[in-house]
Amino acid sequence: MDAVTSPVRIERHGGVAVVALDHPPVNALSRAVRQGLLDAFAALCADPSVIAIVISGGPGRFIAGADIREMNLPPDAPFLPEVVAAIDACAKPVVAAIAGAALGGGCEIALACDARLAGPKALVGLTETRLGIIPGAGGTQRLPRLLGTAQAISLIGEGRVLKAEEARAIGLVDAVVEGDVLAAAIDRAPAIAKRRLSAAAVPAGDAAAEDAAAARARKAAKGVPAVAEAIHVIRAAGEGDFAAGLAAERAAFLALRESAEAKALRHLFFAEREAGKVPGLQGAVARPLARVAVIGAGTMGAGIAVAMADAGLEVALVERDADAAQAGIARVRDLYGRQVKGGRLSEAQMAEKLARVAPTADWAQLGSADLVVEAAFEDMGVKTDIFRRLDAVARPGAVLATNTSYLDLDAIAAATSRPQDVVGLHFFAPANVMKLLEVVRAARTAPDVLATALALGRRMGKQAIVAGNCDGFIGNRIYAVYRRHAEYLVEDGAAPEEVDAALEAYGFAMGIFSVSDMSGLDIAYAMRQRRAATRDPNERYVAIADRLVEQGRLGRKTGAGWYAYDAAGTKSADPVVAEIIAVARTEKGIAPRAFSAPDIQRRLLAVMANEGAKALAEGIALRASDIDLAFVNGYGFPRLKGGPMWAADAMGLTEVLREVEAAHQAGGAGSEPAPLLVELVRKGCTFAGWRQGEEE
């Protein structure tokens, strides 16, 4: 081992040797780290002066898992199972000093040790199923031998991450050490007895508890194949010897690693890390945030207030009068009450969070806010009026944000004397639950304002995506095309329930017409009316949804929309809707034709990707992976498919272009193939590689 270049070094403390990792930022198990660990154990296990070994990741760290980047590269020895086997085989006691994250492969290394000591901020877990794979270095075999089959299924199947005390309570770590965990490990290591989990038997378990754990994991998995495979391999641990279990685990791991689902999930993993890299923000420092305000205490405003209170911010919830303000805080209280009823929050925690939200009708309260979010009705006149008033009372340097879904952010900013302080914060309903946050940059938004918005998104636990200013930004712009072409399919012959069934078979939790009914058909209707004057006359227009609204069918809230709903909320196909559709076809002379589920899936995926390509070329989206994150986190696109742009690459852009050309014939103006899509097909490139290829 080269002490100069290796990220692993050996330190001696008398008879105790410390294998110290220093591979910033999280000691990911790169090839160099694996080789360093293997070399260190080869030397120390053969050194008679060493009586015990401690593995340390340094202050605040341990090993956060595999180097995910290497999963997309050809396999390169040494492999993690070799490293884990070397630790397990060492005749001297080995202690894991876990001061930070011991996740995935890091947790497997800790399980190969004879004892595990954790600092109070340690995190422990086998999280591989989140990436569509299973532990591949003994985790599925050692964990059931330590904790039993049911607990192993729960932890691995659900990809759970445990805090230090939680891990200690179930026996995953032996002790939680206040202060210097490495010093404690060095002190205790000589007295640790060898305790190889590889030589232990799986404790006798409760079959009912195992079945219950498996059912919970499968339900949470939402179709991730790795979870079913993990359950199978874990259960096999109690049926055969350790070596056979390792072989079965490794075979499953290698097969899953190359699956389309795992590749899609890895794509999203990297996309999340790329999303925060925004050109022009180098050196920008976020403005301090302690007190915020939300203007508008309706459903959206209340949800935003909860998201901000959950992030530890003091929130002024501002309404037009005292009665409206009290109605708003009642909505906030109801949102927290549901969490208490569901067991996700205690009464004391609810009281603590509620205390952060102050309802008011006094606009003077806005003068002390570091950031103000407007969450009023989606109307340009309403919003510009609010921003004029806000400009007069907000303190200098306050960030002024709008939650608009579609409207021109530059026009809203122009209503103030400080457009540099204006940014879009497009939350998705319910705002306290949905992970996506579109951060919309206006023409004059200052870099530190954009940095503040991104920092707020992180603080709230949101997936923030930076979007440029256009009608609908990234998500709603593409969604509008998706919905329009779904309506073309219906007018051309597909039933709404057939379109929804095809989308649900693809992996969406709900089809597009079910979603429309849930959100309310009047919302899209108002948007269409607003756009009517500027709509291209050569764009095909389907009036079926308008006729539903004009008959009072607004969706679930009126008991009828694209579907009929009974008193319990159960939907069913409605002959009234079928008749409205039939009349619309007759008026246009359309002879209905049949569409298969694959027909529907290909068409709707293609038009989403095509509009995404237009957004990329215009700079509305910074990268294709940002579009994927937006749709996975905000629109129900199945994670296992990686997002519409990734899925389009998988479909093949030649096939996508062919489908888009057919969609153009069906839809007319606005459905033309994107020049970027045409260019990528000509060059044989993909959306995923577009920016890299452009830079080269």
* Separation CA 535–CA 484 (nearest Å): 13
Residue 440, helix vs strand vs coil: strand
Listed in order, the ranges of the chain carrying CATH 3.40.50.720 are 291-469
């079945």: which residue's tokens?
A: 211
* Separation CA 105–CA 127 (nearest Å): 9
Listed in order, the ranges of the chain carrying CATH 1.10.1040.50 are 476-695
Tokens of 54: 């401690």
Render pLDDT for 606-635 as a digit per residue (tens, 0 to 9). 999 999 999 999 999 999 999 999 999 999
Question: Do the bridges between strand 314-318 and strand 357-360 make them parallel or antiparallel, or are there none, so unpaired?
Answer: parallel
What are phi and psi for residue 206, nearest 5 degrees? -100, 115
Q: What is the mean pLDDT of residues 262-291?
A: 94
Q: What percentage of the chain has pLDDT greater than the value 90? A: 91
The pLDDT score that the predictor gives to residue 240 is 75
Q: What CATH number belongs to 476-695?
A: 1.10.1040.50
Average pLDDT value for the chain: 94
The pLDDT score that the predictor gives to residue 523 is 82
Question: Do the bridges between strand 571-572 and strand 564-565 make them parallel or antiparallel, or are there none, so unpaired?
Answer: antiparallel
Distances (CA, A) of 460 to 152, 303, 561, 578: 31, 12, 34, 44
């008011």: which residue's tokens?
A: 360
Examine the pLDDT at 237 and tell me if it is beyond 90. no
User: How is 561-586 classified by DSSP, letter by letter?
Assistant: SSSEE-TT--EE--HHHHHHHHHHHH
* Separation CA 326–CA 339 (nearest Å): 20
Question: What is the number of other CB atoms lying within 10 angstroms of the CB of residue 67?
Answer: 19
Distances (CA, A) of 358 to 346, 461, 564: 20, 22, 40
Tokens of 414: 């122009």
Tokens of 494: 């597909």
Render pLDDT for 181-203 as a digit per residue (tens, 0 to 9). 999 999 999 999 999 999 999 99
Tokens of 687: 């959306």
Render pLDDT for 110-165 as a digit per residue (tens, 0 to 9). 999 999 999 999 999 999 999 999 999 999 999 999 999 999 999 999 999 999 99
Question: What is the number of other CB atoms lying within 10 angstroms of the CB of residue 265?
Answer: 21
pTM, entire model: 0.91
Annotated catalytic residues are: 108, 128
Of 540, 538, 539, 545, which is closest to residue 560 (Cα–Cα)?
545
The pLDDT score that the predictor gives to residue 427 is 97
Render pLDDT for 453-497 as a digit per residue (tens, 0 to 9). 999 999 999 999 999 999 999 999 999 999 999 999 999 999 999
């935003």: which residue's tokens?
A: 304
Of 330, 284, 602, which is closest to residue 445 (Cα–Cα)?
284
Examine the pLDDT at 445 and tell me if it is beyond 50. yes
- Please say whether the beta carbons of 12 and 44 come within 8 A: no
Listed in order, the ranges of the chain carrying CATH 3.90.226.10 are 8-263
- Residue 46 buriedness (CB in 10 A; 0-12 / 13-18 / 19+): exposed
- Please say whether the beta carbons of 585 and 578 come within 8 A: no
Greatest Cα pair distance, the chain, in angstroms, is 92
* Separation CA 77–CA 64 (nearest Å): 20
Angle at 659 between CA 597 and CA 538, to 5 degrees: 110
């948007």: which residue's tokens?
A: 527
Q: What is the mean pLDDT of residues 78-91?
A: 96
The pLDDT score that the predictor gives to residue 211 is 94
Q: What is the mean pLDDT of residues 89-107?
A: 97
Residue 367, helix vs strand vs coil: helix
* Separation CA 22–CA 9 (nearest Å): 8
Class of domain 291-469: alpha beta
pLDDT-derived band at 66, boundaries 50, 70, 90: confident
pLDDT-derived band at 695, boundaries 50, 70, 90: very low
The pLDDT score that the predictor gives to residue 520 is 92
* Separation CA 518–CA 606 (nearest Å): 25
Residue 423, helix vs strand vs coil: strand
Tokens of 487: 């309506």
Of 10, 99, 11, 114, which is closest to residue 61 (Cα–Cα)?
99
pLDDT-derived band at 68, boundaries 50, 70, 90: confident
pLDDT-derived band at 238, boundaries 50, 70, 90: confident
Of 668, 688, 690, which is closest to residue 679 (Cα–Cα)?
690
Residue 55, helix vs strand vs coil: strand
Examine the pLDDT at 3 and tell me if it is beyond 70. no
Of 465, 462, 477, which is closest to residue 406 (Cα–Cα)?
477
What are phi and psi for residue 412, nearest 5 degrees? -65, -45
Q: Which fold has domain 8-263?
A: 2-enoyl-CoA Hydratase; Chain A, domain 1 (3.90.226)
To which H or E segment does residue 331 belong?
Answer: helix 322-341
* Separation CA 120–CA 100 (nearest Å): 9
* Separation CA 150–CA 169 (nearest Å): 16
What are phi and psi for residue 220, nearest 5 degrees? -70, -25
What are phi and psi for residue 42, nearest 5 degrees? -60, -40
Render pLDDT for 413-433 as a digit per residue (tens, 0 to 9). 999 999 999 999 999 989 999
Residue 222, helix vs strand vs coil: coil
Category of 652 on φ-ψ map: left (φ > 0), alpha (ψ -120 to 50) or beta: left
Comparing 70-74, 566-570, 576-580, the range with the smallest average pLDDT is 70-74
* Separation CA 82–CA 76 (nearest Å): 12
Tokens of 637: 């696109």
- Please say whether the beta carbons of 653 and 683 come within 8 A: no
* Separation CA 153–CA 215 (nearest Å): 10
Examine the pLDDT at 693 and tell me if it is beyond 50. no
Render pLDDT for 540-553 as a digit per residue (tens, 0 to 9). 999 999 999 999 99
